[in-house]
Amino acid sequence: MKKTDSLLLDLAPQKFGRIGIIWTWTLIIISLIGIVAYIDQVIKGQVVTNMNDYALWGIYISNFVFFVATSFVGTVTVAILRLTNNSWRTPIVRIAEIISVAAIIMAGITIMIDMGRPDRLLNLFIHGRLQSPIIWDVIIIPIYIVISLLLLYFPLLPDFALLKLFFEKKNPKLSKWYGKLSLNWTGSLAQKTIQAKSIQLIAVLIIPVGFMLQTIDAWLFSTLFRVGWDSTNMGAYFISGASVAGVGALVTVVYVLQKVYKLEDYITDYHFDKLGKFLVLMCLIYLYFNLNEYLIPQLTSKKEATTHINVLLTGQFAPLFWFVIIGGLIVPVIVLLFKQGRKPLPMFIIGLLVVLGSWWKRYLIVTPTLLHPFLPIQGVPESWHHYFPSLHEWLITAATLAMALLIITALVRYLPIIPIQRTADEQEELELNKNTAK
């Protein structure tokens, strides 16, 4: 019990300082500006975007794909590391779960922004047809939201009980909330067994659901004829890309939280080292699929395929393409292969680079393909031959990103970001082992 007391002092949620408050308000303001821009879009129609009958999808869709990809971090770190018994995951799993929840909720919201008639959202349920990949998305995203929330919630139960006691005098109101959320957790053997079983079940369940989510997202594109999407590679390509985006986001957030909350005792260089190796593996797998996606069509050189790929390699999108491949994948792999590269600060920079690369990667998947249809683009305004997001699109997209960060911030404010009970248990176990060794 003493163990948890000292841990609680370190790890219980704290009030934000000045920087925290400024950060939160900045996010709120960006979100509000985006909401205003969105209302304007609803009133005027999507004419406020730079989308057109050829570039019929834009950054709303690529941003959506980015959110879906990032939400995969829950599956990768929590479930896979758990099932493979990697005990180094303890201090970072909750952060991963939080990112996952924020990303998938925002994915659900982002896709609605792209709809021409958001007022007819219910048609998806009234007239929904299972043969459409969009309906698959409508089914899988809520399921993933629920499972992600449960995966976040179940392990929190003992911590809520601890926090209830901890805040009993300092903040009775908060304590009451924690008490309610803890579902009368007493830590009895029966409760522990149920909890362990439930977590195990959800951890197993989230793997197929996570894979399905990513694959369906890939199939949104690969079920269409367009060059650059019509590829059997897509499912695996998206899953590996999602691992990169997710772990990249995780590294970045873990670093920030470690610095802000001074968690150096709990999240150590050792953890960054492990995360770095994990990220290298994910980047290498993704590079492999990229090779499949771009090199093989280039070798067989069908006319449409080479047009499409040359636009990426040497044409209009080349700067972005090479930034994504070199900056977002090759440089991270090289840096992270060195021990010095896996120290917290370089990892943070690499993490940012990976996230940025991942975001633009989705843009490169969506846009260039649409600008090269089968029949030539003729008889439409000159501006329809290109696409770059309008101010409205940027404001709204920035708002969705800000909202995701806002969800993360809110959860970080009220949840213990490092599992208290489990850390205590692990420390006790460690001491016990030491004593027996003596």
Partner 1 sequence: MKNSNKSSRRKFLNNGLKLGLITTISGIGLSKIAAKLSAQTANDSNTKMELMTMDGTLIQVDSSEVIEVAHSKNEDRKYNVREGMPNRKFVMVIDLAKCKNALKCQSACNKHHYITGEHAWLKVYKMQESEDTAPYWMPTTCMHCDHPACVTVCPVDATFKRRDGLVLIDNERCIGCRFCMAACPYSTRVFNWEEPNQGEITMNMQMKHQTENNSVEFAGMPSIKGTVDKCDFCPHSIKENILPHCVTACPNGVFYFGDKYEDTVTNGEETLRLSKLLIDKDGYRLMESLGTRPSVYYLPPVNRLVDFNEGLDNYTDFKSVEKSE
**What residues line the site for partner 1 (CB under 8 A)?**
44-47, 49, 51-54, 56-57, 114-117, 120-121, 123-124, 126-129, 131-135, 138, 220, 223-226, 370, 373-382, 384
Residue owning tokens 């924690």 = 178
Cα–Cα distance, 300 to 233 (Å, whole number): 16
Nearer to partner 1, 177 or 384 (CB): 384
Cα–Cα distance, 204 to 209 (Å, whole number): 9
At what angle are helices 90-113 and 391-414 packed, to 10 degrees?
Answer: 150
Nearer to partner 1, 115 or 260 (CB): 115
**Smallest gap from residue 216 Cβ to partner 1 (A):** 13
C-alpha 385, offset from chain centre = 32
Nearer to partner 1, 117 or 438 (CB): 117
**Smallest gap from residue 227 Cβ to partner 1 (A):** 10
**Smallest gap from residue 249 Cβ to partner 1 (A):** 27
**Smallest gap from residue 143 Cβ to partner 1 (A):** 17
Q: 40: exposed, middle or buried (C-beta count within 10 Å: 0-12, 13-18, 19+)?
A: middle
CB atoms within 10 A of CB 125: 9
Nearer to partner 1, 262 or 385 (CB): 385
Rounded to 10 degrees, the C-alpha dihedral 409/415/420/422 comes to -90
Would you give the DSSP letter of residue 325? I
Answer yes or no: are the C-beta atoms of 420 and 427 closer than 8 Å: no
**Smallest gap from residue 59 Cβ to partner 1 (A):** 14
Would you give the DSSP letter of residue 334? H
**Smallest gap from residue 114 Cβ to partner 1 (A):** 7
Cα–Cα distance, 238 to 219 (Å, whole number): 9
Answer yes or no: are the C-beta atoms of 364 and 317 closer than 8 Å: yes
Nearer to partner 1, 170 or 225 (CB): 225
Residues 6+ apart with CB under 8 A from 167: 12, 174, 175, 178
Cα–Cα distance, 77 to 89 (Å, whole number): 7
**Smallest gap from residue 386 Cβ to partner 1 (A):** 13
Nearer to partner 1, 227 or 279 (CB): 227
Nearer to partner 1, 116 or 319 (CB): 116
**Smallest gap from residue 124 Cβ to partner 1 (A):** 6
Nearer to partner 1, 90 or 369 (CB): 369
Q: 383: exposed, middle or buried (C-beta count within 10 Å: 0-12, 13-18, 19+)?
A: exposed
Tokens matching residue 327? 């900056």
**Smallest gap from residue 373 Cβ to partner 1 (A):** 5
Nearer to partner 1, 299 or 374 (CB): 374
